[in-house]
Amino acid sequence: MRRRDFIKVIVGSAAAWPLVARAQQPAKRPLIGMLAPGTRASNGQWYAALVDRLRELGWIEGRTVAFEYRFAEGRPERFAEIATEFVNSNVDVIVTGGNAVSAVRQATSTIPIVFALAVDPVGSGFVNSLSRPGGNVTGLSLQGPDLAGKRLELLRELAPGRRRLAILVNVGYPATREELAQVQTAARALGLEFAVLEIRRAEDIAPAFDGAKGRADALYVIGDALTTANVVLITKLALDAGLPAISSYREFAVSGGLIAYGPSVPALFQRAADVVDKILRGAKPADIPVQQPTKFDLVINLKSVKALGLTMPQTLLATADEVIE
């Protein structure tokens, strides 16, 4: 080979080295921001269900995907702060739920947002419609059959003769209004008296129970980030007051509440993982329909049944998905 041709080969090869090096660089791992409205204790297992499902779909933490976790501890004032952190970190997807969705939407109109649970995503303005969300937001809705009436029937079956109902609700979360209206309608249909116990922050919970003394002999807790973050306090106060209590999420019964009945939250988070998977593979949130719950769980705490001096109907026990003993 002539010297001139040899030099051309060497120079051409050297020029190609950066291209080869760039081609061999590993692709950037997607970064998913996880904003849990509640505490690690109350919300951690839900997000773990999502991570487990993503692993099944090939998104393995530390290898093919990375996560940033934030727990707002039931403090709505932290939602905007955490959302801004995620935007500044250039996350690829933000997963959240409940009353945190609004704050995340205000922080970004471009990063895909997946809500694992939302009471009324259309009425709350998260999406344009369930079938065509539009924008950068989609996920799982808690909308479905009216469950408030079913919960009160379960409560009456386990605690017959209780006629005065207290309804504990975070009025600072607008989406709870729909369930509150359903509970009130169902209570009237069953001939129950009811008193609404309004809370906006954790410090309001104990005074609300004080205000219910002599006015209630049963309790309905409307689930949201504030009540889930303070579930241990709420169930203790209910037991101390001798109030048979029901709510929508499993952790309520696990923590000492009498009954929990509602959509399976871990199942919703698993299905949210399927939505995240589609987005990471190129789908747009605007084109992914909002899904509704398909799995519902009935959880009964037998220790609370005994502590409240109630008799457990065998027919109800046989239909329970989980019994806490």
3-state secondary structure of 128: coil
Looking at every residue in the chain, the average pLDDT score rounds to 90
- Among the listed residues 274, 291, 278, 273, the one whose alpha carbon sits nearest the alpha carbon of residue 51: 273
What pLDDT score does 129 carry? Answer: 95
CB contact at 8 A, 74 and 39: yes
What pLDDT score does 305 carry? Answer: 97
* pLDDT tens readout for residues 67-82: 999 999 988 899 999 9
Is pLDDT larger for residue 178 or for residue 134?
Answer: 134
pLDDT range class, residue 191, cuts 50, 70, 90: very high
- pLDDT above 70 covers what percent of the chain? 91
What pLDDT score does 144 carry? Answer: 59
CA distance 215 to 230: 22
* 226-to-74, 81, 200, 278 alpha-carbon distances in Å: 5, 17, 8, 31
Q: Cα angle vertex 278, ends 268, 63, to 5°? A: 95
CA distance 44 to 156: 32
CB contact at 8 A, 265 and 252: no
- Among the listed residues 314, 242, 300, 260, the one whose alpha carbon sits nearest the alpha carbon of residue 42: 260
Q: What's the DSSP call for residue 155?
A: H
Residue 19's CB is within 10 A of a number of other CB atoms, namely 9
3-state secondary structure of 193: strand
Residue 8's CB is within 10 A of a number of other CB atoms, namely 12
H or E segment at 113? strand 113-118
Stated pTM of the model? 0.81
Helices first, then strands: H and E counts in the chain: 13, 12
| Beta strands across the sheet bearing 93-96 | 66-71, 31-36, 93-96, 113-118, 137-141
What pLDDT score does 174 carry? Answer: 83
Average pLDDT over residues 114-132: 92
The set of residues, in sequence order, having a beta carbon less than 8 Å from that of 159 and lying 6+ positions away, is 218, 244, 258, 308, 310
Question: Burial, 281: exposed, middle or buried (Cβ in 10 Å; 0-12, 13-18, 19+)?
Answer: exposed
* pLDDT tens readout for residues 144-182: 557 999 999 999 999 999 999 999 999 988 888 889 999
pLDDT range class, residue 120, cuts 50, 70, 90: confident
Is pLDDT larger for residue 2 or for residue 305?
Answer: 305
Residue 24's CB is within 10 A of a number of other CB atoms, namely 7
Locate 230 and state its tokens. Answer: 């303070």
- Helix, strand, coil percentages (3-state) for the chain, rounded to 5, are 45, 20, 35
